Structures are given as structure tokens and as C-alpha cells.
Structure 1
């Protein structure tokens, strides 16, 4: 899965499933072409149905962190299902720099500053909402490939998991990473070490492998990823297969049918792997080790479309088999495209490309999936509220006497809020008598002990003329007020520039942040 999935090619490039081939695959699993070959499955009865216990089955869609911006804060909950969300994707800063980043677009610190990721994760933790972190994806460099040693790789993974206080790790391995034997071995050993560290500290680390799949099952390279993890001593929570991009013309069979075939074949393959290593399957059998992640709506292959009806069919199968996990790529895309987007057959990052008629893929697929990713109850963190203090707060303290434009952040009663529209003398951000729709404010998360105090940018005295209440200013004039630079947007006199920090709409000044 990729943060920007606009490629028109399949993971199984060059392969197409004809109607004749599909019939053969339904009768007995066959090999797909050698370009990317799936391992043949011996025909026979499918693994026994039992599956994960009902209360441990979980749904959590992938949430593409790299698409975030501060303006989205009021409209983008990280995840509303019982299973929370899978944050994607942590990758290396560069091919030879194993510093963890979000999609190479943001460092971990930049993500905290730009779209409040640390604060929003802490909010979910305090509210008992679980989260998982996904490493890898279809583009960029997975950490194990950029790091030069197992120790470096372990450290990189630990930095991320510890920073966000998360105990579920998802490893999305695809593309070139599948064939990289050195990084595969390094990754497995690093994950085994990290898992052992957590156990020694009295904690836990659940590890999921997310892999591409064909209707005939996992490829040889995918199976090798599973085997390497097990042989390194990793206790795998499960294998999540990407039920998408099969390389069909869209008319061979519904996407749900191809996905169900893929899950059945993978179940047999995993049963064999566990049997070969004399490893005990979970109490629910192999289905308790399996997950499925469809790409909702338009897939990367133009002819392939995963519809809401496909979602219902997949959910019915998953529920009957007791599939442990269901996800989607991605929560950001779970909506009908707007009328101004005419290219619906081209994959968009913020909509599905199909008419959903008000339905939500997440709602359909999470039906019956009420557990959490770790199968452990999400612990609600009860932390002390940090007192409001203008000297230490990360944003200005809210005041009924100030004007606030949409998108402005404030602090009130130990919490951070973002303004949804221009307002003045509105109700307090935490007014308990107002619901979310009626309030001018959206709760973002708590003030953190790690927050830096709010401060405006300053320049050396004399860089620009000091503002004067007596002077007349025209558009483009630049002044300093208490050391901070501002640029005039239109003619004004006696209008203090610092008012523009909170009121972007009506102040004749704008804060110069790039000086």
C-alpha cells in the first residue's frame, strides 16, 4: 500500500486472469506466471473453520499520515472504530539513512508540530482508543533496508513504538523489499529483539506482517517473509494480506470473490508453515492468524473496483470464518469523490472513486469486529491536567474578548482546541452544553509535558521599522511589532499587527513566518 496510489500497474505486473484461468483456480489452485509466482497449494479441504474469538476480532483502517495538514484537524479523526486505526507509513529518511519518518515527508518532530500527531495519539490513548503503527508500504525505503545493522534497525523501530506508546506493529513489506534478503533477515532479527525487550519489561509487542497476495495465495517471496520471522523467533500475531490489485480486467470475477480465494489459499499455506515448524496454531486455528485489507473503490488497476457490495460479501466471509483482522486502504479515501473531481477511474488519495451512496466501507467491514488490535482491553490513561499558563502553553490561552479565525489553535483548561469558523465572544471551547456540531471549537488533545511554549518569530531590532499607531500603511509595507515582523495586506492606520496572529480574516496585517 502506498501513500499515493496513482500507479496503473498491478503488484503482479503482466499477469491477467482470464475466465478460463479463474475456473481452473476455483477447481484447484494453480501457479501464476513466473514474473511473480505464487506458491501452488495442494487441492484439498480448506482449513477447519473456527477462527478468532468474537471479542478479539478487530477492524482498523489504515490512516495515511502523510496526507495530513493542520487545516484537516477539525475534520480528520484518526479512527472511530473499536479497533482504532493503523497509522501509515513509517519509512527511512533516505535509502541510506535509517532515521524514521512519516513517508519521508515529515520527521517525527515535524509531524508533532505540523498536525499535532503526538497530541492526537495521546488523546486516543486517554480515551481508550487503540492504535497500531505500520512500517514500509509500496514506496520509499523500509527501515531495515536503510539501517546497516540489526542494532540500528531495532533502535529505529523502538524510537517509533516508544514515542507513541503503541504495542501493535504492522510491517507492510512489498515491492523491492520483498526480494531484499539482507533487509529481510535484519528486520526479522530486529523485531525479535524488540519483542523480547517488551516481554522482559513486562509489556508486549504484537507483530503483523502485511503482504501482497494473489488469488492463488502468497508469493514465494511473501512466504519467505513469514518463514524468516518465525525462524528468527518472532511470535507473529498474524499475516494480513492485501486483497487488491490482482491484475484482472475487472470482468473476470468480483473483487470479493478473488479476495476470498486468496484468503482460502493463504490459510492453507500458513497451516503448512506452522505445521512444518511444529508451531501450535491459535485456539481458533489458522483463521485466527489471518487478516484482509482491500483497497476500497478504484484500485491501482483501472478495471478493478472494490464496491460496497464487495465489502459486504467480504465481511460475511470473514465473519463466518472468524478472520482475525480486517482493514482498508484507506480511511482517508472512505468517501465519494466530489463533483469537481471528474477522473474517477484514476486513484485519488482522498476519495474512493465510486459512488458510495452515503455508505461507509469502514462501517460495512467493521460489522461484527469489536475487538482491539492487541486483543487486550485498551487501557484508559488518567493523566493530570496541566494548568493553563501563558508562559508555558503551546498556544495562546482562549479569551472571550479575542477574535479567532478558522484553524487557529488555543489552549483552555489543559486542552488544545482548533477553531472551526471565525468567532468572537463564543461559548467556551469546553462548554458541556454544546455538541460538536454546535461548538465553534474542536477538541484536538491534551496539553503535553513535552510541549514547547508558544512564541512568535522575532528578528533583530531595526530589521524593519517599528509599527506606529500614527503612521499610515499601504499594502506590502513591512513592520516589526515587539520584534515580530508583519506585512500589510491593505491600507490601515492604528490597527495593531499582533491581532493578526488570531484573526487572519479581518486584520489588515499578516504574520511573516518565513522571514
Structure 2
């Protein structure tokens, strides 16, 4: 991959694997092409995470009627790609609310089945949750319930990954880095309550962050290169577990000045792969 060769980075998340309309999954583009690119990345020493969910996702946890069938769909895809890390990104979209408690609990039960299946084969399935966050209050109650449900089901949660983006609060627009640090500090406090008994370093190691680089969906919010450096430095200082951004195809300056989020460019003045290089120093 040109990106990996140019930046030296080797790890990406594949998003999103969701329902094809029933209790079976599909990718937004050709699966064979994705597999080929994954093989190319692995040849460079890299690897991938499979992610399911996203805004208004036709979520598998919604379409599968029970935890066992849901787990089987996840398992088949993880096996096909040879992946041992599954990320879940449940969101309350305006079409599909995948934070509904029944859906959340079905997903949690399936993840427990999956982790037990991996253990039976002498392997470990790493599970992470990507969730919306607020700069002041951290996770909302519905997002916190995702973590509580997983805990209740006996799921081992490795990474809690707040989406430091799209705050829509009227004040974060020109200070996305600082507001994102505030959001992460709020999550840190919430995790201490949810999983008591760990050290501060262990809580920070459980926390990730995913920024939307450049122009966010809210026209007033722009995550700049300086914001990326601020968040990167904070993540290093605290020993956070993950730092990522949405999305790889946006890491270029091909549409500088655009005030609408575009999946092909960041909307700001930058060189290709600037954000990758900043976050790559994490």
C-alpha cells in the first residue's frame, strides 16, 4: 500500500462490516478487493481491525434474532480475514438507533460467545467499543450502558474508544484539540467508576481516541493539524491505548476550504498523509 510505504504505518481499521438486510454481513465494497489489500498490508508487517456499526448502520445486532447467530456471523468474517480484533461502533442514528438496550444486550451476549470460542481454540479475541462522547460530560447514559452491558455479560473490554468529533455544542469549533482532551478526561473518570480497582495507568491504557480529521460534519468544527499534535502529545503523556482518525482517504488537502465533510479530503490546507505522520508518532 502506498500509504504504508510513504508513512511507515501498518495498522488500519476496516469499516464497516454490517447487515446485508438479514442476519448476514457485507462490506460497502468488494470483499475480495479488501482481502487482497489486507494481504498486501500484512506483507509489509501490518494488520487490521474489523469494525461493525457506524452512523445509521444496518447493524447485525439488529438483524440477527439471537446472540448465537450474531456471534456466528462475526466469527465467520474474523476467520476469513484471520483477524483477532473486533471493534463495535454502535450509534443512535436518525434511522437506526443501535443503542437500543435489547440490541446492546444481544451484541454483548454474542461477544461473550465469541471470546469464549476464541479461548477454546487457545486464542484471544480483542474487543473494543467506539462510542460518541461530549467534551464536558463524557459518555451519555446510552453509551455508558454499552459498556455496562458488556461488563454484565462477562465481555473482556480491551479498549474504550471515544469519537472525538462532531460535538455540535456551539463552542468546540476552533478548539477541537483542547475540547477532545477534556472529553478523554471525562471518560477516564467514568471508567474508574465502571471498572473500579485499576491503577490510573491501567485506565488510560484502556482509552483510545478517534478524531475526524479536518472538516467535521458540523460546519463550524475543524480538527486541525495543531489539534492533532495536541491530542497526540496528551495520548503519549497519559499512555493511552490507541490513537486513530476517520478516515484514511481524507488525509490530504485536495479540497482545502470546503466547509462540508468529504470522505475524499480533509477540507483544510495540508500535505498528503500529514495527519498519519502526526498520529504515527504516538
Normalising by structure 1, report the TM-score. 0.51
In the alignment, structure 1 residue 281 sits paired with structure 2 residue 198 = yes
- On the 8 A contact 1:170/1:210 being kept in 2, the answer is yes
Distance 2:42 2:6 in 1: 12
Summarize deviations over 1:245-292 as a string: whole Å, max 9, x none: 1113466650011100100000000110002xxxx5378321010001
Distance 1:167 1:260, change over 3 A: same
Compare 351-360 and 323-332 and name the one that shifted more.
351-360
Shift of 1:198: 0.6
- On the 8 A contact 2:17/2:52 being kept in 1, the answer is yes
Summarize deviations over 1:354-412 as a string: whole Å, max 9, x none: 11156611110121x3xxxxxxxxxxxxxxxxxxxxxxxxxxxxxxxxxxxxxxxxxxx
- On the 8 A contact 1:178/1:221 being kept in 2, the answer is no
Shift of 1:147: 0.5
Distance 2:215 2:255 in 1: 15
- On the 8 A contact 1:144/1:186 being kept in 2, the answer is yes
Shift of 1:331: 0.6
Compare 265-274 and 246-255 and name the one that shifted more.
246-255
Superposition map of 1:241-390 within 5 A: 241-249=162-170, 254-275=175-196, 280-281=197-198, 284-338=201-255, 344-357=258-271, 360-367=274-281, 369=282
Superposition map of 1:384-403 within 5 A: none
Secondary structure of the structure 2 residue equivalent to 1:246: coil
In the alignment, structure 1 residue 87 sits paired with structure 2 residue 14 = yes
| 1:121 counterpart residue number | 38
Distance 1:88 1:336, change over 3 A: same
The partner residue of 1:207 within 110, 123, 127 is 127
- On the 8 A contact 2:67/2:109 being kept in 1, the answer is yes
Distance 2:198 2:9 in 1: 25
Distance 1:90 1:251 in 2: 31
In the alignment, structure 1 residue 198 sits paired with structure 2 residue 118 = yes
Superposition map of 1:130-149 within 5 A: 130-149=47-66
Distance 1:312 1:301, change over 3 A: same
Please identify the structure whose Cα radius of gyration is greater: 1
Distance 1:145 1:259 in 2: 30
- On the 8 A contact 1:240/1:292 being kept in 2, the answer is yes
- On the 8 A contact 1:188/1:229 being kept in 2, the answer is yes
| 1:159 counterpart residue number | 76
Shift of 1:177: 3.6
Runs of at least 5 residues in structure 1 that lack an aligned partner in the other structure: 1-73, 370-515
Secondary structure of the structure 2 residue equivalent to 1:135: strand
Higher relative contact order (CA closer than 8 Å, sequence separation 6+): 1
Distance 2:199 2:63 in 1: 34
Runs of at least 5 residues in structure 2 that lack an aligned partner in the other structure: none
The partner residue of 1:219 within 126, 132, 140 is 140
Distance 2:255 2:216 in 1: 18
| 1:100 counterpart residue number | 25
Superposition map of 1:437-456 within 5 A: none
Distance 2:121 2:216 in 1: 42
- On the 8 A contact 2:108/2:150 being kept in 1, the answer is yes
- On the 8 A contact 1:78/1:84 being kept in 2, the answer is no
Distance 2:275 2:264 in 1: 14
RMSD: 2.2
Distance 1:78 1:192, change over 3 A: farther
Secondary structure of the structure 1 residue equivalent to 2:17: strand
Distance 1:245 1:349, change over 3 A: same
Secondary structure of the structure 2 residue equivalent to 1:155: helix
Distance 2:162 2:6 in 1: 21
Q: Which has the higher helix share?
A: 2
